Structure 1
Amino acid sequence: MKLRIFLSLASASVLTTFLSGCAGNSAEIQAKRAELERTTPVCVDEADCTAKWEAAQLWIVHNAGYKLQTVTNVLLQTYNAVPNSPSLAVQATKEPMGGGKYKIAVSVSCSNMFGCVPNQWDAALSFNRAVSAVTP
């Protein structure tokens, strides 16, 4: 009986720690989401868009856990994540903003309930930095 109570308390403690860790990270995730929006790459003309789009493709080739499945002038997409894998699946889109400008938005994910390796938020910010830094 004492062992069963101990195991129940230990399980509850682990679960509480896990859940509080998730809740504690919500402010951090909100900050990263805001940073991701703030740093989204924007291209302003054809040469700039070509250079940034090629940089986006190269970043995905070097950092995603899966090969590119779709490559068009508006979509870069890897194969879907394998179940339970922490490897990164990536999708980038080139979206018109008007006036000849486009934003290059990235989505990074995995199918592991414990998170991605590297962290998907950090990877997306790395993508934004790398693509934004490119000039024609």
Structure 2
Amino acid sequence: MKQRLLSVLCVTAAAVAATACSTQGQVDPDVMQIATTPLTCSSKAECDLWWQRAQTWVANNSKYKIEAATSTLIQTAGPDGGKRALAYQITRTQNPDGTATIGFAAHCDGSLGCKPNPWEAGADFKQYVRGTPAGTQGTDAKPAQPASAAAHPALHPDMQQGQSVTPSTGEAVSQ
């Protein structure tokens, strides 16, 4: 009887794991396109605004506390062992042509994947920072309104293209 119960539990666990794996790799192509499009600002004023928005987005969306917020880095604590919540690292790199690129990295430590999905978080982050309404793909859109400076002081802009997103499998993906 114990052997049969153990066998049923093993089969059930395998089925749950297979189901989790089969749904984790599916990312909407539109979300993927938004998440992988570089976030490059073109002027100091735009870069400052986008950097301020980046910090606001992380503060509003991270389950972890912001540990570092400088003119070139926004980083949260985490990820905690076994947790599905995303930890974030946002970078700002000055480009030789005077523009700056804001990079996005998200990762978790959950064996069942991350929540939210890192690709969706990356797309949402980029839309928010650009001021693009969710569901649109205007990668050249300028931010519509500044984030509250009282809640999150503006930081200096400087970022480079690189971005890293951790898919729900827990493996880092660079874009």
> TM-score by structure 1 length?
0.79
Please report the RMSD computed on the Cα atoms of aligned residues, expressed in angstroms: 2.5
Asked whether the equivalents of residues 93 and 105 of structure 1 are also in contact (C-alpha less than 8 Å), the reply is yes
1:115-126 matches, within 5 Å, as: 115-126=113-124
- Unpaired stretches in structure 1, ≥5 consecutive residues: none
| Equivalence for 1:4 | 3
Letter in structure 2 aligned against 1:11:
C
User: Structure 2: how far apart are the matches of 1:37 and 1:78?
Assistant: 21
Q: Deviations over 1:4-29 (max 9, x none)?
A: 24642552353145235414543x24
Q: Which of 35, 40, 44 is the aligned partner of 1:42?
A: 40
Moved over 3 A (4+): 29-35
Matched residue count = 133
1:86, 1:23 → 2: CA distance?
A: 17
1:122 & 1:30 partners in 2: Cα distance?
9
- Check 1:17–1:66 CA distance in 2 against 1; reply closer, same or farther (3 A cut): closer
Instruction: State whether residues 42 and 132 of structure 1, in contact with CA within 8 Å, keep that contact through their aligned partners in structure 2.
Output: no
Question: Percent of pairs identical after alignment?
Answer: 26
**Aligned partner of residue 110 in structure 2, secondary structure:** coil
2:93 is equivalent to residue 112 of structure 1:
no
Which letter does structure 1 place at the counterpart of 2:3? Answer: R
CA distance in 2, matches of 1:29, 1:5: 38
Which of the pair is proportionally richer in helix?
A: 1
What is the match of residue 91 of structure 2? 93
Shift in alpha-carbon separation, 1:80–1:48, aligned structure 2, 3 A:
same
* SS of equivalent residue, structure 2 residue 83: coil
In structure 2, runs of 5+ residues without a counterpart are 132-142, 147-175
